């Protein structure tokens, strides 16, 4: 979760507004906030979000498809490590 924040801050991939955080527990977000490692994003459900962060896992393919359909567009960015996608960014 928090490791992608500096990378996203260097780009304009995320529009202003609520962000859908796939598979990130609220307690983790709160811990990152206490430590000052999380931006001021407002977390939102998939229907209200203006952007979405998806952390790929093979068993979560249906979640990625749902996010893609709700955002109405292909990913705007894919962050990789050794050519393996670790975070997929969607934006309306």
Is 63 or 8 the better-scoring residue by pLDDT? 63
- CA–CA distance, 9 with 60 (Å, rounded to integer): 26
What does the pLDDT look like over 25-68, one tens digit per residue? 889 888 888 988 878 788 899 999 999 999 999 899 999 999 99
Model confidence at 90: pLDDT above 90: yes
Classify residue 10 by its DSSP letter. T
Classify residue 23 by its DSSP letter. T
N residues, the chain:
92
pLDDT at 2: 57
Model confidence at 10: pLDDT above 70: no
Strand 19-21 vs strand 51-54: parallel, antiparallel, or unpaired? parallel
pLDDT at 3: 64
pLDDT at 25: 87
77-81 average pLDDT score: 88
Domain range annotation of the chain? 2-91
């Amino acid at each position: 979760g928090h490791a992608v924040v500096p990378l996203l801050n260097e780009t304009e991939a995320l529009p202003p507004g609520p962000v859908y955080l796939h598979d990130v527990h609220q307690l983790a977000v709160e811990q990152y906030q206490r430590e000052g490692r999380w931006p001021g994003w407002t977390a939102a459900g998939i229907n209200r979000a203006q952007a979405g962060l998806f952390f790929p896992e093979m068993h979560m393919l249906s979640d990625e498809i749902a996010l893609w359909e709700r955002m109405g567009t292909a990913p705007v960015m894919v962050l990789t490590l050794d050519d393996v996608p670790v975070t997929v960014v969607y934006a309306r």
